[in-house]
Amino acid sequence: MDMIKNLTNVRGIKCWGAHTGIKSLRRDLAIIYSDVVASAAGVFTQNKVTAAPVDLTKKHIADGKAQAIVINAGNANAATGEQGRKGAEAMAQTMADELGIDKELVLVSSTGIIGEPFPTDDIVEGIKENAKKLSKKSNAGSFAANAILTTDTYPKEGFTEFDVDGYEVNMAGIAKGSGMIHPNMATMLAFVVTDAAIESGLLQSMVKEAVDKSFNMITVDGDTSTNDMVLVLANGKAHNDIIKTEQDPGYDNLKENLEEMMTHLAKQIVSDGEGASKFIQYEVKNASSIDTARKLIREISDSTLVKAAMFGRDPNWGRIIGAAGNAGIPFDYTKTDLYIGSDKNQVKMLDQGVPQPFDRNMMKKLLRESHIHITLDLHQGEAKAVGWGTDLTTDYVMFNSVYTT
Amino acid sequence: MDMIKNLTNVRGIKCWGAHTGIKSLRRDLAIIYSDVVASAAGVFTQNKVTAAPVDLTKKHIADGKAQAIVINAGNANAATGEQGRKGAEAMAQTMADELGIDKELVLVSSTGIIGEPFPTDDIVEGIKENAKKLSKKSNAGSFAANAILTTDTYPKEGFTEFDVDGYEVNMAGIAKGSGMIHPNMATMLAFVVTDAAIESGLLQSMVKEAVDKSFNMITVDGDTSTNDMVLVLANGKAHNDIIKTEQDPGYDNLKENLEEMMTHLAKQIVSDGEGASKFIQYEVKNASSIDTARKLIREISDSTLVKAAMFGRDPNWGRIIGAAGNAGIPFDYTKTDLYIGSDKNQVKMLDQGVPQPFDRNMMKKLLRESHIHITLDLHQGEAKAVGWGTDLTTDYVMFNSVYTT
């Protein structure tokens, strides 16, 4: 019985996750390996300060090819200077040696504490010991999903199978965000593998678009880390005709599934907010452009006033409109309809900017739900966007005032 | 996209997992709730010392009915005397009050440190705060699966759907074992829910048989804890005709799936051995009785000599036969065939007790695999049994000599 499908259910993919000693008791080293060279694409942190593994992986993925990803948790290898740069190189070189592949086919990723010397020896030793354990068994996928976590309270995973031009394609992903208790360690990592065949340049643009719709539309605390990284491998083992253009059959379905996978993983990251009490979905409809819609969502979902109001079950449309007005884009609230409610039932609070009467008791009840939906209809165009965030709780503030260095 | 199916995909089941503060940063309170009263069955630790939640749950499940399970991790509520007994009662009473159901319909379970005062107030507070968050969303299932863990390095989960007399039935389970780093905290818990309709007395005998084939056939360190507990709820929401006898249609398929679910969870517990390097499957064939076959497996899989040989990649059939001879049952090695190898390729080492020539290099290579299979064919009857264990590594010994109180 194949009770949980994960990375190992993608053709040609083996993985493993192990404890090497960087973290005291938890798994801290994950390996994902494709038995053939795969098309590879990546999206990296926009933070000006980038960690050593980000720099190295950008270099190795430049040719659009990769065969292995090795990830350690517990030490971010950021702000580690030359020692860290050598450590990232050693990770890639050791992995390559153990697998008998070119070093440039290995992508590396790290998450954890920033600014501490990178434990290169331990990790090199761990890679040597664990490379031979790469496996297609279901547990190996769970091990990998858990080995990339830091303060996350549960692993983020997804698996789906779908049709590409008549061929059955598998896709699986893992991700990590962070409990909100230590936002300074809130590196976001995601790794997706599929056996679809697609040309790497096209994969890169597809990945970029999917990240813009998913990981870039979530907010936990508004910061990006030095280590954020989303990597996708497509190894072609599904044997569909290689997708080379957006017009090729299967392109649309692959793209849609990649977006759904990333959205699924991104929403799990948001929902893992120990200090948060609510998961909030924001939707902006009928905007003049997608860019406008996204900017509005980011501004609203990052607003501490809006977030605190949601914690207090206060349908404070004024703060939402206020935040929207701060987005630095043309926004006419007199044309805007605003809805607030649960995921099942939303109440129109503004009709073309005019406040609507509403049942306060019912609204309080709706906002007691753990999933809140807020929708703005701009009546300005046809673009729309969706994003996800949390509320701001007294717990969050308490955690982050108590647990500091 | 329903990317990960879990507890929440069983009809009528809601759940949640949260952080209440017993564990420093991780989720430590899980709730599983059926919106109708379910048939309930349980199997409990054989340890003479039982924890307060075990005593209470045995009492509450005696009538074969339950509607909610509440589990805390971090404190086992064992060896806590009257204070602990009151704590377990308070868990059940608070859960019942929040859900508006009878206290006797609530089952409680605890895992964690033994002998420390039970943090009743924190848990009562946590239950009050989280009861209203019970959800059918997929994440809620992940939260619950993660909230029951202690030293486990990954959550153990399973989901399956199958046919019972023409009705689609769902079944999901979660479990915890432990990394082998702290075997003194190695409580084994498993919770399975299904929407099948089955009479509770029959469910109890089915559960007992399934546990004997699965959780009772694994060994990590040979001890049973004060808190071990396997609970099953069957709420009938699949609307099949209630199964009342072993002859009823659907009985066999439900039983088979329950056994597979428990075996799946049990194998995951074994595989989560940080200090172990190998997962070993033992099979005894053609024994005179199932009981004999099981006893042999338990003796062999618990043998430190056999386990150490497996770590050393030594196909030491002498130790296996030696351990079998210690099982306290009639065992004639001169009639026994013995096979050792990987999960893909096993080599006959003994033919009717006679050592067979074998390729030492090939054997070393086979035993380098992380999954080892050992099979004994007793040629004495028709009964068979399967069990699972680990090797004994230098790491295990080191961990358990260093990390003590």
pTM: 0.85
Minimum mean pLDDT range among A21-30, A270-279, B96-105: A270-279
Contact A231, A40 (CB under 8 A): yes
Residue B181: pLDDT band (50, 70, 90) is very low
- pLDDT of A225 reads 79
| Strands of B62-179, DSSP E | 65-75, 106-113, 156-164, 167-176
Enumerate the residues of chain A whose CB falls inside 8 A of the CB of residue B368.
132
Q: Which of B135, B137, B268 has the CB atom closest to A139's CB atom? A: B268
In chain B, the largest separation of any two C-alpha atoms, in whole Å, equals 69
A160 CB neighbours in chain B (<8 A) are 1, 3
* CA distance, residue B326 to nearest chain A CA (Å): 33
The percentage of chain A sitting over the pLDDT mark of 90, rounded to a whole number, equals 72
Closest CB from B3, B268, B370 relative to A158:
B3
Q: Is A225 helix (H, G, I), strand (E, B) or coil?
A: coil
Q: Tell me: the pLDDT tens digits for B269-303?
A: 998 876 788 999 999 999 999 999 999 999 999 88
Highest mean pLDDT among A308-322, B52-66, B212-226 belongs to: B52-66
Q: Which residues of A touch B157 (CB under 8 A)?
A: 3-4
User: What is the band of B37 on the pLDDT scale with cuts at 50, 70, 90?
Assistant: very high
Chain B residues touching residue A154 (CB < 8 angstroms): 17, 27, 139, 142-143, 145-146, 155
Residue A169: exposure state from Cβ atoms within 10 A (0-12, 13-18, ≥19): buried
pLDDT per residue as tens digits for the range A222-265: 667 788 999 999 999 999 999 999 999 999 999 999 999 999 99
What is the rounded average pLDDT of the residues B349-371? 92
Q: Model confidence over A363-401: pLDDT tens digits? A: 999 999 889 999 999 999 999 999 999 988 887 776 666
Tell me what pLDDT residue A181 has. Answer: 45
Q: What percent of chain A has pLDDT over 70?
A: 94
How far is B27 from B176, CA to CA, in rounded Å? 14
Average pLDDT over residues B201-211: 97
The verdict on a CB contact (< 8 Å) between B155 and A153 is no
What 3-state class would DSSP assign to B356? Answer: coil
B175/chain A closest Cα distance in angstroms: 14
- How near does any CA of chain B get to the CA of A201, in Å? 27
| Contact list, A1 vs chain B (CB under 8 Å) | 158, 160, 260-261, 264
Tokens (6 digits) for A362: 């019912």
CB-nearest partner of A274 from B19, B151, B370:
B19
Distance CA A385, CA A178 (A): 24
Taken in order A94, A96, A97, A98, the sign of the CA dihedral is positive
Whether B154 and A135 lie within 8 Å, measured CB to CB: no
The model's confidence at residue B223, banded by pLDDT at 50, 70 and 90, is low
Q: What is the pLDDT of residue B221?
A: 66
| Residue B214, phi then psi, degrees to nearest 5 | -120, -85
* Nearest-neighbour CA in chain B from A17: distance (Å): 10
Write the DSSP string, A35-81.
Answer: EEEEEEEEEE---SS--HHHHHHHHHHTTSEEEEEEEEEEE---S-H
Q: Count of alpha carbons within 13 Å of B123, Cβ hemisphere only?
A: 33
* Tokens standing for residue A278: 């609510």
CB distance B114 to B184 below 8 Å: yes
Q: What is the pLDDT of residues A164-205, one digit of tens each?
A: 999 999 999 999 986 554 445 568 999 999 999 999 999 999
Tell me the sheet residues that pair with B32: B15, B69
Nearest residue in chain A measured CA to CA from B145: A154
CB-nearest partner of A153 from B1, B19, B159: B19
Residues 6 or more apart whose Cβ sits within 8 Å of residue B303: B319, B320, B322, B323, B326
Chain A nearest-CA distance from B329, in A, is 33
CA distance B402 to A142: 27
Q: Which residue has the higher pLDDT, B46 or A286?
A: A286
3-state secondary structure of A204: helix
How close is the nearest chain B Cα to the Cα of A98, in Å? 15
The pLDDT, as a whole number, for residue B183 is: 47
pLDDT at A1: 53
Would you call B3 and A146 a contact, using CB atoms and an 8 Å cutoff? no
User: What ipTM describes this predicted complex?
Assistant: 0.74
Nearest-Cα residue of chain A relative to residue B137: A371
A264 and B1 in contact by Cβ < 8 A? Answer: yes
Pick the CATH number of A279-402 from 3.10.20.340, 3.40.50.1820, 3.40.50.970, 1.10.3720.10: 3.10.20.340
Of A29, A57, A268, nearest to A125 (Cα)? Answer: A29
Chain B residues inside the 8 Å CB shell of A153: 19, 25-27, 143, 146
The residues of A annotated as belonging to the active site are 187
Report for A49-53, B167-171, B212-216: range of highest mean pLDDT: B167-171
- Are the beta carbons of A25 and B153 separated by less than 8 Å? yes
pLDDT at A180: 54
Residue A59 has pLDDT above 90, yes or no: yes
H/E run at residue B377: strand B371-377
Q: Which candidate in A153, A265, A403 is best for mutational testing of the B interface (most B CBs within 10 A)?
A: A153
Q: For B151, name the nearest residue in chain A, comparing CA atoms only.
A: A25
Flag if A271 and B27 touch (Cβ within 8 Å). no
Q: Where are the alpha helices (DSSP H) in B100-217?
A: 120-131, 138-147, 200-213
Pairwise CB contact (< 8 Å): A261 & B3: yes
From the CB of residue B397, how many other CB atoms can be counted at a distance below 10 Å?
12
CA B126 to chain centre: 26
The one-character DSSP state at B245 is S
Task: Grade residue A22 by pLDDT with cuts at 50, 70 and 90.
Answer: confident
* Active-site option among B20, B50, B111, B187: B187
CA distances from A254 to A3, A32, A243, A386 (A): 24, 21, 10, 20
CB contact under 8 A, A274 and B132: no
Out of A1, A133, A143, name the one closest to residue B260 (CB).
Answer: A1
Residues of B in contact with A155 (CB under 8 A): 142, 146, 154-155
Distance from CA of B325 to the nearest CA of A (A): 33
CB contact under 8 A, B154 and A132: no
**Identity of the highest mean pLDDT range in A8-17, A218-227, B131-140:** A8-17
Cβ separation B25–A151 shorter than 8 A: yes
Residue A300 near residue A306 (C-beta atoms within 8 A): yes
The pLDDT of B188-200, averaged and rounded, is 97
Residue A23: closest CA among chain B residues belongs to which residue?
B153
| Residues of B within an 8 Å Cβ radius of A | 1, 3-4, 17, 19, 25-27, 132-133, 135, 137, 139, 142-143, 145-146, 151, 153-155, 157-160, 179, 181, 260-261, 264, 267-268, 271, 274, 368, 370-371
Beta-strand pair A29-44/A13-18: antiparallel
Selection from B119, B98, B132 nearest residue B20 by Cα: B119
HSE-CB for B23 with a 13 A CA cutoff: 26
Q: What is the C-alpha separation between A299 and B77, in angstroms, rounded? A: 47
Using CA atoms of A359, A363, A366, A367 in order, give the dihedral in degrees to the nearest 10: 180
Which is nearest to A320 in space by CA: A267, A372, A273?
A372
- A2 CB neighbours in chain B (<8 A) are none
In sequence order, what are the residues at sequence separation of 6 or more whose Cβ sits closer than 8 angstroms to the Cβ of residue A141? A4, A6, A7, A8, A9, A15, A157, A172, A174
Domain locations in chain A as residue ranges = 7-271, 279-402
How far apart are the C-alpha atoms of B168 and B182, rounded to whole Å? 41
With vertex at residue A18, the alpha carbon angle to CA A13 and CA A24, rounded to the nearest 5 degrees, is 155
Beta strands in A153-272 (DSSP E): 156-164, 167-176, 189-194, 229-234
Q: Is the pLDDT of residue B182 over 50?
A: no
Query: A104: Cβ–Cβ under 8 A, 6 or more apart, which residues?
Result: A59, A60, A63, A65
By the 8 A CB rule, do A298 and A387 touch?
A: yes
Per-residue confidence band for B81, with pLDDT thresholds at 50, 70 and 90? very high
Across the interface, do B159 and A4 touch by the CB < 8 Å criterion? yes
Structure tokens at A297: 């969502």
Q: What is the mean pLDDT of chain A?
A: 91
- Which residues make Cβ contacts (< 8 Å) with residue B172, sequence separation at least 6? B5, B6, B7, B8, B9, B10, B13, B141, B157, B158, B159, B160, B192, B193, B194
Q: What pLDDT was estimated at residue B370?
A: 87
Task: Provide CATH code, domain B7-271.
Answer: 3.60.70.12
- Do domains B7-271 and B279-402 share one topology? The answer is no
8 Å CB contact of B143 and A154: yes
Rounded CA gap, B217 and B259, in Å? 12
Enter the tokens of residue A50. Answer: 């980038």
Determine the pLDDT at residue B377: 97
CA A37 to chain centre: 24
